[in-house]
Structure 1
Amino acid sequence: MTHLFDTNAWIRAIERPEELTTAASSVIQTAGSAPFGLSAISIYEIGQKARKGKLTLSIPLERWFTIALRAGFVRVFPIDAEIAREANDLPGEFHGDPADRFIVATARKHNLTIITSDGLIRRYSGVTTLW
């Protein structure tokens, strides 16, 4: 495994793959059976956005999770003490969004490239990104 989805990229990969860049699509298509990383915070973030009406999914939320978390596509990384501490103390300048901080900390701990369209993550020098 070499890549970690941020929340928005994961949604796009499942819901609207045509919105992915050529580079992101290529990585996903050539991954074969290797799973992609996903921070557990992304599951929480999607659930919150859907329940608050800020995210509309094509199918009910629990069914969406069943499909999106299917075996072999993603490996969910839990938020452990090391990731929580890293998210709190990211080196350099990084914004305060907790979900983004956990995603970046997860990528740093596991040495993964983040698939993201988020300009704030992409500009952060502490991780490698792809979009």
Structure 2
Amino acid sequence: MPRLLLDTHILVRWSSDAKKLTREQRRVLEAAARNSEPLAISAVTLLEVALLSNGGKLKAPLDDFFADLEADPLVNVIPLTYEVASEFGSMGVLQDPSDRAIVATARIHGLRLVTSDQRIIESQLVPVVE
């Protein structure tokens, strides 16, 4: 069972340029990798990655990026569920729908969110690794 949920930018940085992560983010993710701990991402993150790819902000071709994720047994994609959607509706403090869905996913599944997003961090809606 995963204990960490990666937001979109953390996932992209972790897979392409880990130097852009904070020291704490790298420490936590490297420890998870060393211990073969699964990492979670929200299904919404896949959509955001596709948007980043369309905007030229993804180093690898999108199909390759997704194939690598799918082949990694330690990456768990958490689907959008009725519970997550219901939680999504209760978080008016976050305006960005993707942020709300990712935070709702972390809350429903009891996961710490690895993020650098200041709005999410300041909202204190979910425990974070920043």
Q: Quick check: TM above 0.5?
A: yes
What is the CA distance between 1:38 and its match in structure 2? 0.4
Alignment partner of 1:78 is 2:65: no
In structure 2, what is the Cα distance between the partners aligned to 1:130 and 1:106? Answer: 15
The answer to whether the 8 Å contact 1:12/1:20 transfers is yes
Q: Are 1:38 and 2:37 counterparts? A: no
Q: Distance in 2 between matches of 1:127 and 1:117?
A: 13
Aligned partner of 2:125: which letter?
G
Deviations 1:76-129 (A, max 9, x none): 000011101110112xx5221111000000000011110000000111122111
Instruction: Provide structure 2 residue ranges, at least 5 long, that are not aligned to the other structure.
Output: none
Q: How many residues align?
A: 127
Contact 1:9 1:20 in 2 (8 A): yes
Deviation at 1:59, TM superposition (A): 2.0
User: Structure 2: how far apart are the matches of 1:69 and 1:100?
Assistant: 23
Q: CA deviation at 1:73?
A: 3.0
Q: Which amino acid aligns with 2:84?
A: I
TM-score, normalized by length of structure 1? 0.90
Query: Which residue matches 2:4?
Result: 3
Match of 1:95 in 2: 94
Higher helix share: 2
1:27 is matched with which residue? 28
Between the aligned partners of 1:73 and 1:21, the Cα distance in structure 2 is 22
Q: Is residue 114 of structure 2 the alignment partner of residue 115 of structure 1?
A: yes
How many Å apart are 1:35 and its aligned residue?
A: 1.0
Does residue 104 (structure 1) correspond to residue 103 (structure 2)? The answer is yes
Offset, 1:15: 1.1
What SS does structure 2 have at the residue aligned with 1:37? Answer: strand
Secondary structure of 1:76's match? strand
RMSD, aligned CA: 1.3
Tell me the TM-score normalised to structure 2 length: 0.91
